[in-house]
Amino acid sequence: MTKLEWSLRGVIVPLITPFKADLSVDYDGLSELVEYYVGDVGCDGICVCGTTGESPTLTHDEHKEVIRFVTEQVSDRIPVIAGAGSNSTAEAVELTRDAKEAGVDATLQVCPYYNKPTQEGIFQHFCRIAEAVDIPQIIYNIPGRTSRNIEPATLVRLWREVPQVVGLKDAAGDLRQSMDVLGRTAAEGFAVYSGEDILTFDLLCHGAMGGIAAVGHVVCREVQAMCAAVWDGDLVGARNIHYAIMPVVDALFIEPNPIPVKQAVEWMGLPAGPLRPPLGPLSEDGKKVLRATMEAGGWL
């Protein structure tokens, strides 16, 4: 079986899920967000029902409907990636089937969390999803949330042996590991995306194809410009953008994602709404830091 094609570069916004006061999904708000980031801002891709979209607190029916709704709203203007991972392989297969039926372009598959599988167990998890559903997979490595790191050898093996595996959202926060993966796969076309926003510039310099960037809710155009500068060979210009946005990138992670991001989106006059428990509002100290940073950089 031949490797599935995948060539998306740039900034993929992992969209928040707006909620109403009663914590139901705000579909009118979701429509407005899609039009803003796809039509007005011009992001390169949308990721729906990821960590930033509060997927852990969406019901399966909500998860399926949000993916379908966003895919229809985007209407083939840019690629749509749907979070479809789980710590249960059978559940991940079911979510992936639903996402494919909704018409997404690829799925984001998180490393199985809590169960603490071996590297072979992790490899087989993604293999079984691929065997069940023929759609591009972007592997999501975020050991800070899952308690399991997908080691470079496992990632390279997945890329070379599983046709559906086309990319990686790298949120390991380990530049040495990132360089190991990129050094062994970038020339072969493996699409590595930064998932640790403060390291996007570094990963771009080592061959990444962009970022699945929560900070894209605020600084999408700036991160796009940084990507373009690296690809054009203007490393000084890219570095200058990196340092210019670094304060707001830090501020947007002053508390666990997506708490600060949702607050920033609300201040920008866009639909966001409350967070679903156990997440709660940004603290008053966090608000002071985030607002001051956004105002100083001209984002408010």
Show which residues are catalytic: 140, 169
CA separation for the pair 173, 188 (Å, rounded): 23
- Both structure tokens of 152: 């470079």
- Both structure tokens of 230: 């690296």
- Both structure tokens of 83: 């979070």
Whether 94 contacts 132, CB under 8 Å: no
CA separation for the pair 210, 232 (Å, rounded): 14
CA separation for the pair 197, 201 (Å, rounded): 8
Chain centroid offset of residue 97 CA:
20
CA separation for the pair 200, 205 (Å, rounded): 9
Tokens 């007005």 sit on residue = 40
Q: Give which of 133, 122, 125, 69 is closest to 95, Cα–Cα.
A: 133
Neighbours of 47 (CB within 10 A): 31
- Both structure tokens of 113: 């969390």
- Both structure tokens of 168: 């990686």
Please report the sign of the dihedral spanned by the C-alpha atoms of residue 209, residue 214, residue 219, residue 221.
positive
Say if residue 277 is preceded by a cis peptide, omega within 30 of 0: no
Q: Give which of 212, 276, 213 is closest to 26, Cα–Cα.
A: 276
